[in-house]
């Protein structure tokens, strides 16, 4: 397991207020999925997993943080599992809906595509590198390049929405984001 990541995220979840506001992309598009099997990649404390469960999905909620996963135990319709995304493999053709917000591991892009059933919906949103970003992650590799998200998925998806835009973070910093909504072909 990526112990360093696990400790970092456990500490963050323990010592910082975690946003509970849902990402608009999720509330706007999750209902497009026609089946009920959902995956929340890097689910954190589970704000989106809980929302999806309320909509009637059976949610596999995955995260590296044991603290986050522990907080999701015994919630109906949520199947929380602590995983190391460096070694974990997503099951093939299992999900009707996959969501991923504010987590970037490019090596997962092909697995995400394979994990969706035909006609499944992908909702993905994260930050994009731009020199005018006012708050940046510790590593540039945690940021998308411009147009990277759409380019990574457009070949295997009917693109429903793809955009890059400026956003203000919870702490008032200006950051560029990318979002992608697609239906697997």
| Tens-digit pLDDT profile for residues 58-114 | 999 999 999 999 999 999 999 999 999 999 999 999 999 999 999 999 999 999 999
Residues 104-131 as b/e (b if ≥16 CB within 10 A, e otherwise) read: beeebbebbbebbbeebbbbbbbbbbbe
pTM of the predicted model as reported, rounded to 2 decimal places: 0.91
73 backbone dihedrals φ, ψ, rounded to 5°: -65, 145
Of 11-15, 35-39, 55-59, 107-111, the range with the lowest mean pLDDT is 11-15
Tens of pLDDT, residue by residue over 1-10, are 466 665 565 5
CA-closest candidate to residue 163, choices 171, 101, 176? 176
The residue that leads in pLDDT, 27 or 169, is 27
What span, in angstroms and rounded, lies between the C-alpha atoms of 163 and 89?
28
Instruction: Name the average pLDDT for the chain.
Output: 92
pLDDT in tens, 127-139: 999 999 998 777 8
pLDDT at 1: 47
Q: What is the pLDDT of residue 62?
A: 98
Domains and CATH numbers, the chain: 3-184 (3.40.50.150)
Per-residue pLDDT for 16 more than 70?
no
Which spans in 16-65 are helix H?
24-29, 47-54
Q: Is the pLDDT of residue 148 over 80?
A: yes
What is the model's pLDDT at position 20?
78
């Amino acid at each position: 397991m990526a112990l360093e990541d696990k400790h970092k995220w456990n500490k963050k979840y323990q010592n910082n207020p975690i946003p509970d506001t849902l990402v608009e992309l999720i509330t706007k598009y999750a209902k497009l999925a026609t089946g009920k099997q959902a995956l929340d990649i890097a689910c954190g404390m589970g704000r989106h997993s809980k929302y999806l469960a309320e909509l009637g999905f059976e949610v596999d909620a995955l995260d590296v943080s044991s603290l986050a996963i522990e907080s999701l135990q015994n919630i109906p319709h949520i199947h929380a599992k602590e995983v190391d995304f460096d070694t974990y493999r997503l099951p093939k053709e299992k999900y009707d809906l996959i969501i991923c917000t504010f987590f970037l591991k490019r090596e997962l892009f092909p697995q995400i595509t394979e994990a969706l059933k035909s006609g499944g919906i992908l909702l993905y949103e994260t930050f994009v590198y731009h020199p005018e970003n006012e708050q940046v992650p510790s590593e540039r590799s945690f940021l998308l390049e411009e147009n990277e998200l759409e380019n990574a998925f457009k070949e295997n998806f009917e693109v429903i929405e793809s955009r890059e835009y400026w956003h203000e973070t919870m702490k008032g910093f200006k950051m560029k984001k990318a979002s992608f909504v697609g239906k697997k072909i």
